[in-house]
Amino acid sequence: MSKIDSSIKNLSVSDFKIDLSNPNDINCKVRTEQETRSNLLRHAKMVGCEKEMTILLNKYDSLLKKCTNDKERDDISKLGIYEIYKLLGGGGELYVNGQLVAKES
């Protein structure tokens, strides 16, 4: 094992501090819908709410398929994102497309 490998192995979660007010700590890469869903489901499985996440995703897929108005589609998307945010624990501020949707302390 190299010196770098042993250093990485000894790191703990508390060693990684992310300051969301610092633009250098935020990843600006836009993920595809498939990657996003996969990550959400993986995280939901880790916290024990995979079934609820699947139900939420299916619910909003169905609502968005029936929607014909762009404004309504945006509002449905925000509501879906908010429900996912709450399911995964919430906390802090939730912005969607640069607009504050939820703020909790």
For the segment 53-85, what is each residue's pLDDT rounded down to a tens digit? 999 999 999 999 999 999 999 999 999 999 999
Query: Distance between CA 28 and CA 63 in Å, rounded?
Result: 28
Between 7 and 78, the more confident residue is 78
Residue among 31, 28, 47 at smallest CA distance from 89: 47
CA distance 9 to 60: 40
Question: Mean pLDDT for the chain?
Answer: 82
pLDDT tens by residue, 20-37:
666 676 677 888 999 999
- pTM to 2 decimal places: 0.71
